[in-house]
Amino acid sequence: MKRALRCALAATVAMVGVSCALDKVAINMVADSLSSGGGAANAFTSDDDPILVGDALPFALKLYETLLEKDPTNAALALQTGSLFVMYANAYVQGPAEMLPEADFKEQASELKRAKALYLRGRDYVLRGIEIRHPGFSRAVADRAKGDFDRLLAEMRKPDVPYLYWVSAGWMAAYAINPLDFSLALTVDRPLAMMSRAEQLDETFADGAIPEFYVSYDAAAPASMGGGLDKARSEFERAVAIEGGKRASAYVAMAEAVAVREHNEREFRELLGKALAIDPDVDPDSRLLNVIAQERARWLLENIDDYFLSP
């Protein structure tokens, strides 16, 4: 009887072990599929219905987080999780919040605070991915003065560009929401250095996403921080050249960042007109991004009196 019990117990333990191993394999397969940058990502970016995607994304975000808990050493999954949080914060939290009527200022403030938290959450996930690929990077980011940050950054290569871009994008977007957050203000040299390194390694990443980032940054930053309207205009021209004029977002960024600051209403209208003239189907992989950017362009034109003084 004791021998039979031992045999039964051994068989049960063996089955549990097999089950756990199969669960691990299944989790890895799903995680690898979702983080491959193929069909799973395109299912969102190629859609033409922002509302449908917006309703689905919260579930997707939690799914990615759950998988990452089960597979914490998957750098690609960390990148996909973090970048998705940054995109969601931009398209579905900050963007809609900025378009709320003035009377809804309390809701706007609440949503912008939420967007900032989501940006930082996404940044931290992508930082985890870099840490997996380059051990010690997180510590180096926290204390750049020790010199390891610049050394590790110099060691990075083209496959690291998506990580560098999304960390910087999330970090700087969070800072832009509240430039008076001095805890963040004291750290912006890190994301700027990462974006600069990403540009050195692959300036055409994501069809011009890097120069498009610099359009907004250079227009807002003082010359002492490397900014300037002339630089922003140059980056816009570079972004359009790389994108081939297929991205509405570059024109919208230029209109908001440069035309408004230069009080150039005519250029503002022209840029937004060009954004609206783009056929979203011309680049299926960016269909959703174009649709969202065009919605922003229409809203800007409808509210043009908020940006320029009427005669």
pLDDT digits 0-9 by tens, 27-79: 454 445 455 554 456 778 889 999 999 999 999 999 999 999 999 999 999 99
pLDDT of amino acid 8: 53
Range of the domain at 251: 2-306
Q: Is residue 311 part of a domain?
A: no
Supply 128's token pair.
């985890």
- Residue 307 φ/ψ region, left for φ over 0, alpha for ψ in the -120 to 50 degree band, beta for the rest: alpha
Residue 200 CB contacts under 8 Å (≥ 6 apart), including other chains: none
Q: At what angle do helices 105-133 and 75-88 cross, to 10 degrees?
A: 160
Q: Is residue 226 part of a domain?
A: yes
Q: Which residues of the chain have pLDDT under 70?
A: 1-41, 310-311
Spell 50-65 as b/e; 16+ CB within 10 A means b: beebbeebeebbeebe
Tell me, yes or no, whether 126 lies in a domain: yes
Domain assignment of residue 200, yes or no: yes
Cite the DSSP H helix spans in 89-186: 95-98, 105-133, 137-142, 148-155, 161-177, 182-185
* pTM score: 0.88
- Sign of the CA dihedral running 188, 190, 193, 199: negative
CATH of the domain at 88: 1.25.40.920
**pLDDT at residue 223, rounded to an integer:** 86
pLDDT of residue 302: 97
- pLDDT score recorded for residue 224: 83
- Selection from 275, 281, 263 nearest residue 301 by Cα: 275
Domain count of the fold of the chain: 1
Q: So what's the pLDDT on residue 34?
A: 54
Amino acid identity, position 168: S
